[in-house]
Structure 1
Amino acid sequence: MSELITGDAVVLGLRSARLPSRALAVCLDLLLAWVIYLALTLALSVATASLDAAAFAAVQVALFLLILVGVPIAVETLTHGRSVGKLAAGLRVVREDGGPIRFRHALVRGAIGVVEIQLLFGLVACTASLVSVRGRRLGDVFGGTLVVRERVPVPKGVSVPPPPAWLAGEFAALDLSRVPDPLWLSVRQYLMRAAQLDPAVSRSLSERLADDVTAWTGAPAPQGMSAAVYLAGVVAERRRREEERSFPPPSGTRAAAGGAAASRLPASSDGPVAPRSSQVDSPGHVHASNPVDGSDSASRADGSDHRRGSTDAPSTDHGEGPTTRRGTGFVPPT
């Protein structure tokens, strides 16, 4: 990787092109240019057969400069550093700050390239590219350019390994909202590359990451659980919560889950018992009602007035304290 710093102080990670790929691109460009040059030379030799030797030599020099110098400069300027050979090799010429080249960059590269590549048979260009850290030839050094690779091989995607099956639901009550995103990224990268690390390094790194996660969650790892397993379980729990947040289960599923939870409650043979509610109407008079008993509704149907403490039939409740009138809701003052 080559660190290029833009005008906004942004570091770009670009992979510099090395000598083999650059040599392939130059060979393709030169082959195409020489084929065009020879074809035009034969055509002009037939068309200018009546000219003298000096005029014919001037035409040859002009054709050489046009095809082997002017056309490559124009192509790199118009395509922003992508000639035919570089396009085939997956390369591009950029400025040292990572921006596209302009005419002056292409002109310097092309003019010096005629000397170091064509007249000296590429010996100077190859030597400079091998010596340079970023594989630059003299035309790149004087022109302030760099040849980079555009087609970079992409590594195969590696997913986070799943946690053990017995760890499901172990961290359901853990608060993961305070853990920062950079820490999650570090944990995921460790889990994806844990198998490639040295066992001692992997254990040390997992313990450090587990301590960081524990510091944010406020709950330590379960006793006897390794740090790697703890990290895998926490990441799986976070992924499960994100999936539920993005794709919530349908309402029917939630209702079925609520019914299943209600079916697990202990059943009572006497049915549900509703709490009593008392209402004080006046000093010394308390109106009590029991929605389950039904005596209050029955007395209302008979037209009895509970606020005035009407007495219908005395009822003695043996074993529960003083005598009260059942169904009327009247409590004698003490």
Structure 2
Amino acid sequence: MMQAGPGSTAHAEEDVLTGEAVALDVKPASYVLRAAGTIIDFIVYVLVMIGCLLLVTYTGAGLDDAQSRILLIVIPVFGMVVLPTTVELATRGRSLGKLAVGARIVRDDGGAIGFRHSLIRALVGVIEIFLTFGGIAALTGLLNSRSKRLGDLLAGTYSQLVRVPTPQPLTLYLAPHLTGWAQTADVARLPDRLSRRIAQFVRQAPGLTPAARAGLSTELAREAAAYVSPLPPVDAETFLVAVAILRRERDARGLALERGRLERLEPVLDALPHGFPER
């Protein structure tokens, strides 16, 4: 996800913004996953309606014509509106199809959906999913950067991917001839945003083409050189790996010191006021 420069308030169109205008690094479900989840939900709800109709047919022999017509209206309303709304509201945006693809319906700001969002999605879904067999939803999703269907656009929601792969730990080794340099090098002024870009490059470098790898490492090394002192006489990628190692060790030491301070304060924070009886 592209990030704005320092002091900029611009955000990409696909960024998820909270009420405080903070961009969240979350990933919307892809078009294919949304389509698969919708098909699963469509089949489930249709089977429920068919099951209700069969149940009424075999057990409701005593119903007159008026009662039968009422049931023919109530059952579709239940299967297309009441049931989807109830399921999404009770599961906080999940359904059988969304569980299968690892997605969840959330608000545009990343919060949990409410009754209004679920009801709007269900009402619009009658037309765009059930009556058109998903044709309108498929067309709208193709034209939207987050694969939103029409109900999502009206309700202010989207499908967020919650099943993401666990990142694998990255093992880095400092070049032996940089051991002395690492003992005196200062990387404290390195901006957090640039540090994350360097760490991302180091992780993805083996999968890049040689030309892209050399160009990106040179660009990042030129940006980082202004914040690192002294500069070691090495190539750009070796320099970036060394900076990433030093920055990681610095952050680890900071977290360890913070954890130690909290452990020392824990008896004071958890203790009762002086003379107050234990109950």
TM-score using structure 1 length: 0.61
Q: Do the aligned partners of 2:198 and 2:220 also contact (CA within 8 Å) in 1?
A: no
Residue 170 (structure 1) aligns with: 180
Report the structure, 1 or 2, having the larger helix content: 2
- The alignment covers a number of residue pairs equal to 238
Bigger Rg, which one: 1
RCO (CA 8 Å, sep 6+): is it higher in 1 or 2?
2
Residue 114 (structure 2) aligns with: 102
Are residue 26 (structure 1) and residue 38 (structure 2) matched? yes
Q: State the distance in 2 between where 1:221 and 1:181 align.
A: 19
Q: Do the aligned partners of 2:17 and 2:110 also contact (CA within 8 Å) in 1?
A: yes
Alignment counterpart, residue 6 of structure 1, candidates 18, 24, 29: 18
Q: State the distance in 2 between where 1:190 and 1:59 align.
A: 61
Q: Displacement of 1:204 after TM fit?
A: 4.3
Residue 58 (structure 2) aligns with: 46
Q: Displacement of 1:23 after TM fit?
A: 1.8
Residue 93 (structure 1) aligns with: 105
Q: Displacement of 1:240 after TM fit?
A: 7.7
Q: State the distance in 2 between where 1:99 and 1:57 align.
A: 41
Q: State the distance in 2 between where 1:117 and 1:27 align.
A: 9
TM-score using structure 2 length: 0.72
Q: Displacement of 1:24 after TM fit?
A: 1.4
Aligned CA RMSD, in angstroms, stands at 3.1
Q: Displacement of 1:194 after TM fit?
A: 4.7
Q: State the distance in 1 between where 2:129 and 2:217 align.
A: 50
Q: Which residue identity is paired with 1:142?
A: L
Identity across aligned pairs (percent)? Answer: 32
Q: Displacement of 1:50 after TM fit?
A: 2.1
**Structure 1 residues 3 and 44, CA gap change in structure 2 (3 angstroms):** same
Q: Do the aligned partners of 1:28 and 1:85 also contact (CA within 8 Å) in 2?
A: yes
Q: State the distance in 2 between where 1:229 and 1:31 align.
A: 55
Q: Do the aligned partners of 2:199 and 2:244 also contact (CA within 8 Å) in 1?
A: yes
CA deviations on 1:142-167 (whole Å, 9 max, x unpaired) are 1111112111234544333x2333x1
Where do 5+ consecutive residues of structure 1 fail to align? 247-334
SS at match of 1:38: helix
Deviates more, 1:179-188 or 1:129-138: 179-188
Residue 5 (structure 2) aligns with: none
CA deviations on 1:99-150 (whole Å, 9 max, x unpaired) are 1111111111101101111112211111111112221111111111111211
**Mapping of 1:188-207 within 5 angstroms?**
188-195=199-206, 196=208, 197-207=212-222
**Mapping of 1:221-232 within 5 angstroms?**
221=232, 225-230=234-239, 232=241
Residue 305 (structure 1) aligns with: none
